[in-house]
Structure 1
Amino acid sequence: MKKLIAIFVVLSLISCKKEVPKTKIKKEKVPETKVWVSKNQKFLDQFKTVDFDTLKVYSAEDIYDEKFEYKGKLLNIADSIFFPKEISIFDMNKVDAYAVYKFDIDKNNLGLIARVGGEYDASSVKFFNYNKQKEIITDYRQLADFGGDAGDIWETKSWIFKNNQLFNFFVWEKFEHDNSVDEEPKLPNYKENHYFLLQFNNGKLDTISKNNEQLEKQFSKIIKK
């Protein structure tokens, strides 16, 4: 009798036990971040990725000095196809052009900095815009150069910086003539400074100011450095 009562109690407890509902866990899909890889990645990998607040771009008298920041990496013959036709990467049938830096401009554009042919050698440091969708260079501009001949001296240097989420380029071009090396008749000595402020917008560089007096005041601190 006691056994029957015990069994009845156990069965009663089991029947009264409530099932605890299982918590339903929603599996949300986390969107994958797509990493852009170019079909010309081998070419682009020759450029060193650079991150900066302000990047000074300049050339030098000794462009092959190992300590020269813009010495860069010698490009290959096959790389000539990526540059606009008017940009030659050859000198005396040999490649004389160098990949230096690359940096992201926006989701559609990649900035490249390369050193290519100037007046006499590869002294010209240029900015090239590489369009990620078209997979081609769509715009370019000289940012730095240095050279001289028969009393003439020319130098260009630039600074790249961000302003209101847009890349700006301040360009300083200097020209001067020293007549101490002139034969008769001597040309007059002179010095000239020209300033330009450019902005990268909608896939290209636009000149937003070339007011010498205003720009000289605005960028006086970096000009004096």
Structure 2
Amino acid sequence: MKRIPLLLLLAFGACHLSTDKKHIAASADIQLLLDCYADLKTDTLLVTTPGTLEDSSSVYHGKLIDTTLLTLLPPEFGPSSDPYYACFKFNLDNNTIGLITRCPDEYASSSIKLFVYHRQGNTITFETELANTWGDAGDFLDKSSILYRTTGKEWMGIIENYVGSEATPADSTTLGFESFDYYHVKWEHQRLDTVSRDSSALTDIFRRISPGADKKVVTLQQ
């Protein structure tokens, strides 16, 4: 009878040690993933899908992420026939790191998404798609974003979503159309919130900021 408490203690110790090893391994893998990303060196950034995905000179070409690290992403993301690319990382606040990542979409790795690494909890969440471009049978989408840090050191962004369909032959009843929608987002309370959908007001702001963001020099630090 006296040996039972000792056995229980040893069993508890073994389980605890196993958990610690798993946590340490996960932390090491997270660091390997973070090291794939270049440090963002600007407070304003225009996010667009590269015109040519194979263009290695584009700042959004990114660095290929090893498939063994994809298990660190949320469950809905993972190995695909098209690869994932690490683009930029930046501190959203003291606890979180934004990870701008080029991901597979229906046709190619054209979708640039924002993932967030939470130091507390050692987890990665998906927040939103920042940019994408595709066309199919006359339908098209062209999404881009501007991320910027306010004077109060808060990260915000404006997402432009341009969708449409080309006009069909004259004997068809289907007409072409196009639509611009804008979303104003803000990082707060450990998540990305939409603070405005007023496209009429956001259009001018996006256009005004966009040229300046496009001309900014983005310094990469691998």
Q: Which TM-score band (shorter chain)?
A: 0.7 to 0.9
Whether contact under 8 Å (2:46, 2:144) holds in the other structure is: yes
Aligned match for 2:55, one of 65, 73, 76: 65
Aligned match for 2:41, one of 37, 46, 51: 51
The alpha-carbon deviation at position 128 of structure 1 amounts to: 0.7
Greater RCO (Cα-Cα under 8 Å, separation 6 or more):
2
Paired position in structure 1 for 2:85: 98
Whether contact under 8 Å (2:88, 2:100) holds in the other structure is: yes
Are positions 1:176 and 2:164 aligned together? yes
The alpha-carbon deviation at position 139 of structure 1 amounts to: 3.6
User: TM-score, normalised to structure 2's length?
Assistant: 0.77
Whether contact under 8 Å (2:115, 2:128) holds in the other structure is: yes
The alpha-carbon deviation at position 119 of structure 1 amounts to: 2.3
Matches within 5 A, 1:144-159: 144-159=131-146
Deviation by residue 1:167-197 (Cα, 9 ceiling, x = unmatched): 00110000121125x6963521111000000
Are positions 1:88 and 2:91 aligned together? no
Q: Against the structure 1 CA distance between its residues 111 and 171, is the aligned structure 2 distance closer, same or farther, given a 3 Å change threshold?
A: same
User: What's the % identity of the aligned pairs?
Assistant: 28
2-structure distance, mates of 1:126, 1:145: 9
Paired position in structure 1 for 2:207: 220
Whether contact under 8 Å (1:168, 1:200) holds in the other structure is: yes
Whether contact under 8 Å (1:72, 1:115) holds in the other structure is: yes
Are positions 1:125 and 2:115 aligned together? no
Q: Against the structure 1 CA distance between its residues 221 and 99, is the aligned structure 2 distance closer, same or farther, given a 3 Å change threshold?
A: same
Are positions 1:110 and 2:100 aligned together? no
The structure with more radius of gyration? 1
Deviation by residue 1:190-210 (Cα, 9 ceiling, x = unmatched): 110000000001110000001
Aligned match for 1:206, one of 170, 193, 211: 193
Whether contact under 8 Å (1:172, 1:193) holds in the other structure is: yes
2-structure distance, mates of 1:188, 1:89: 39
2-structure distance, mates of 1:223, 1:72: 21
2-structure distance, mates of 1:205, 1:115: 19
1-structure distance, mates of 2:59, 2:170: 37
2-structure distance, mates of 1:78, 1:107: 28
2-structure distance, mates of 1:120, 1:183: 29
Amino acid at match of 1:126: K
Where structure 2 has 5 or more consecutive residues not aligned to the other structure, the ranges are 1-26, 215-222
Greater fraction of residues in helix? 2
Whether contact under 8 Å (1:176, 1:191) holds in the other structure is: yes
Where structure 1 has 5 or more consecutive residues not aligned to the other structure, the ranges are 1-37
2-structure distance, mates of 1:65, 1:139: 26
